[in-house]
Chains A and B, each alone.
Chain A
Amino acid sequence: KAGVTQTPRYLIKTRGQQVTLSCSPISGHRSVSWYQQTPGQGLQFLFEYFSETQRNKGNFPGRFSGRQFSNSRSEMNVSTLELGDSALYLCASHRGSTNEKLFFGSGTQLSVL
């Protein structure tokens, strides 16, 4: 069974640009969550999508958005990039119930110059 797949693996952007990251969950998983990891703030929850609807949201500005497609694949978009958005962005999937472990992808390393 294939794991969670994130593309691209690395990205370099400049301030003010926008970026779209992609995540394909494990087959059969209907929930996709996104996390940001930075050295200063650690691993922080961005948002969760379940059946194409945003089910949970973390404390990030509106520049961070996402969506989920009917095949459960998800994309995350960051507009008007800032230097502080440089981070490892991680996607995780699970079937969608409570008290389930989340399976993480390898992440997209975003550098904003």
Chain B
Amino acid sequence: DQQVKQNSPSLSVQEGRISILNCDYTNSMFDYFLWYKKYPAEGPTFLISISSIKDKNEDGRFTVFLNKSAKHLSLHIVPSQPGDSAVYFCAASPYNQGGKLIFGQGTELSVKP
């Protein structure tokens, strides 16, 4: 049972445009959400996170939006750069289980010059 879903396996965007990556979850006990960037054979690198008490969090070019009623979050990257090309994972943490993350399947982002 996939509790965290990223329905788009891949996304291609032109440099300078906005990249929007989406993530849906089913478990209402998730209270903390994170986005990670990953290259093959390397560990994930943290990008940005959001607590369930918020609906938006920004950090430079990265913004995460959380819609709790729809159980949906999204990552916006503006403007997109070729160096952003990687696999992006959405992850959710169940309430009071800090070291346990449930990951989506990932979306491969390709930013073309």
In the complex, B97 has a CB within 8 A of chain A: yes
> A55: nearest residue on chain B (CB-CB)?
B99
B98 near A96 with CB under 8 A, answer yes
A88 near B98 with CB under 8 A, answer no
Shortest distance between the CB of A111 and any CB in chain B (Å) = 12
In the complex, A33 has a CB within 8 A of chain B: yes
Size category of the B interface is 20 to 34
What string of 1s and 0s marks CB contacts (under 8 Å) between B27-63 and chain A? 0000110101000011111100101000000000000
A56 near B97 with CB under 8 A, answer yes
Which of the segments B14-22, B64-72, B74-82, B101-109 contacts the partner chain?
Answer: B101-109
B93 near A98 with CB under 8 A, answer yes
A100 near B98 with CB under 8 A, answer yes
Question: Looking at the complex, which one of A43, A90, A102, A107 makes contact with B99 (CB distance below 8 Å)?
Answer: A102
In the complex, A103 has a CB within 8 A of chain B: yes
A109 near B97 with CB under 8 A, answer no
B99 near A56 with CB under 8 A, answer yes
> B48: nearest residue on chain A (CB-CB)?
A101
A94 near B46 with CB under 8 A, answer no
What string of 1s and 0s marks CB contacts (under 8 Å) between A44-58 and chain B? 110010100001101
A4 near B43 with CB under 8 A, answer yes
Q: Which residues of B contact A (CB under 8 A)?
A: 31-32, 34, 36, 41-46, 49, 51, 89, 91, 93, 95-106
23 residue pairs from A and B, CB less than 8 Å apart: A31-B98, A32-B99, A42-B103, A42-B105, A43-B44, A44-B103, A48-B97, A56-B97, A56-B100, A90-B43, A97-B98, A98-B31, A98-B97, A98-B98, A99-B32, A99-B49, A99-B51, A99-B93, A102-B34, A102-B46, A104-B44, A104-B45, A106-B42
Q: Which residues of A contact B (CB under 8 A)?
A: 4, 31-33, 35, 42-45, 48, 50, 55-56, 58, 88, 90, 92, 94, 96-107, 109
